[in-house]
Amino acid sequence: MIMKRVYILALFLSFVILAGYAQTEETIDEEGKVPAYTLPALLESNAGRKITTVEQWEEIRRPELLTLFTEQVYGKSPVGEVDVSYRKLDDNHSAVEGSATRKQIEITFSKNGVRRKALLLLYLPNQIKTPVPVFFACNFQGNQTISTDPDIIVSSDNPRGCAQSRWPVSKIIDAGYGLATVYYFDFFPDRKDGHAESVLALFGIRGEQDIASDGGQALSAWAWGISRMMDYFETDRQIDASRIILMGHSRLGKAALWAGAQDSRFSIVISNCSGCGGAALSKRAFGETVGTINNAFPHWFCKNFRQYGRNEVALPVDQHELIALIAPRPVYVASAEEDLWADPKGEFLSAFYAGDVYRLYGLEGLQSDVMPVVNSPVVHRVAYHIRTGKHDVTDFDWENYIKFADKWLK
Ligand code: GTR
């Protein structure tokens, strides 16, 4: 009899636990279900000191936040010198119907007897005779997918031009900008066991087991690679390295924000639908959450980040602080109306709250915490838009990024 009661009680308890589990795992896609949350104070040091000047921001708070994001979210970047060599494989002045020069550079990294290669594709406008500003974004599927140009050297098995709707090359060239891109797999193949083939292998990392709890994985490797491309831009006399606009979509938007936060050589940073671990606030737990992202992609963030799954309250930072690390440089955050997984409102609020640091510099952030209507960009030193449509990169996005770059760089 007693055994039977214990059994029923155990059954009941496991039902309660499972129901609770299922409930916390459920994706929140309605504003009314967002839990109450408190954001960490952006302008207060770890020791509780108020940050009121640019000097205090740069000397105290900014380094504190960089350390927190490094150790708790993205992981430490590879450190140490790597031998780098550049080989120009192509330099053709009659690309894009004669309006651009196409260059393809093979970049070889060597260290500890390990070698990794990246293939950088560049289109530079012929109409401009002085060093040009360049939009730089990693691509998802291989360089040859961004255009049907038959002379792009392939960097994957994917069909030529299959991603061309996301890359309006002529529009960018006609606006007087260059375009640079590289396949993100060149830095870390986006797989759970991608470590051995990644650039992390240059630093002795062969697998997840070699990574410390605060060690970087894919996002850190992508950000490292993004900075190595900037090293190249600094050597190319046709490029104005002081006017590189770093753009990234989705997971590559997360990488762009993290690279742009660490590497102030990027003059503008643009996040397109970057979502959880990118522009979206983690503590809102709307759409994709810290728990779901770490389960699906255990190789993206550092292992320490896993402890905040379904425990965002313990997270010592939130993503408005990542955007603030880009200040005083211009930053643009963009969302898509149907991209609820990326939490458009959380992306907007991050951009809004980051404004406090821009104001320290005497610059304007977003003026209101009420989201703008669709397809109506709000543009200050911090800019934001939400466009109609799905998780993607569209002409509307690019047209606004070009206007933003014109405003701040020309
Ligand atoms: C999804 C992921 C998002 C986003 C997206 C993408 O599967 O959950 O965080 O990064 O992929 O990169 O397209």
pLDDT at position 25 is: 56
Taking 80 as the threshold, does the pLDDT of residue 187 lie above it?
A: yes
- Which is the catalytic residue, given 77, 198, 250, 271? 250
Mean pLDDT of 251-274: 99
341: CA distance to ligand 1 center in Å?
A: 9
Q: In whole numbers, what is the pLDDT of the chain averaged over residues?
A: 95
Tell me if residue 309 falls in helix, strand or coil: coil
Active site residue 385: no
CA distance 84 to 304: 31
Q: 10 Å Cβ neighbour count for 334?
A: 31
SS3 readout for 154-208: CCCCCCCCCCHHHCCHHHHHHCCCEEEEEEHHHCCCCCCCHHHHCHHHHHCCCCH
Token digits of residue 236: 């190319």
pLDDT digits (tens, 9 = 90+) for 5-24: 544 444 444 443 333 333 34
Q: What is the pLDDT of residues 316-373, one digit of tens each?
A: 999 999 999 999 999 999 999 999 999 999 999 999 999 999 999 999 999 999 999 9
What's the pLDDT at 166?
98
Annotated catalytic residue, options 45, 110, 170, 391: 391
Nearest CA among 335, 394, 401 for reference residue 165: 394
Structure tokens at 295: 């389960």
Lining ligand 1 with CB less than 6 A are 250-251, 275-276, 288, 293
Residue 69 has φ and ψ, to the nearest 5°, of: -65, -35
Q: For residue 71, what is the DSSP state?
A: I
User: Of 138, 250, 347, which is best to mutate to test ligand 1, by the most ligand atoms within 8 angstroms of its C-beta?
Assistant: 250
Q: Residue 170: how many CB atoms within 10 A of its CB?
A: 14
Mutate which of 258, 273, 341, 390 for ligand 1 pocket (most atoms within 8 A of beta carbon):
341
Q: Which residue has the tokens 């496991």?
A: 14
Using CA atoms, how far apart are residues 53 and 330, in angstroms rounded to an integer? 19
Which stretch of DSSP H or E encloses residue 104?
strand 100-111
Query: Which atom of ligand 1 is found nearest the CA of 288?
Result: 8
pLDDT of residue 19: 36
Instruction: Determine the distance separating the centroid of ligand 1 and the alpha carbon of 43, expressed in angstroms.
Output: 30
Respond yes or no: is residue 250 known to be catalytic: yes
pLDDT of residue 5: 52
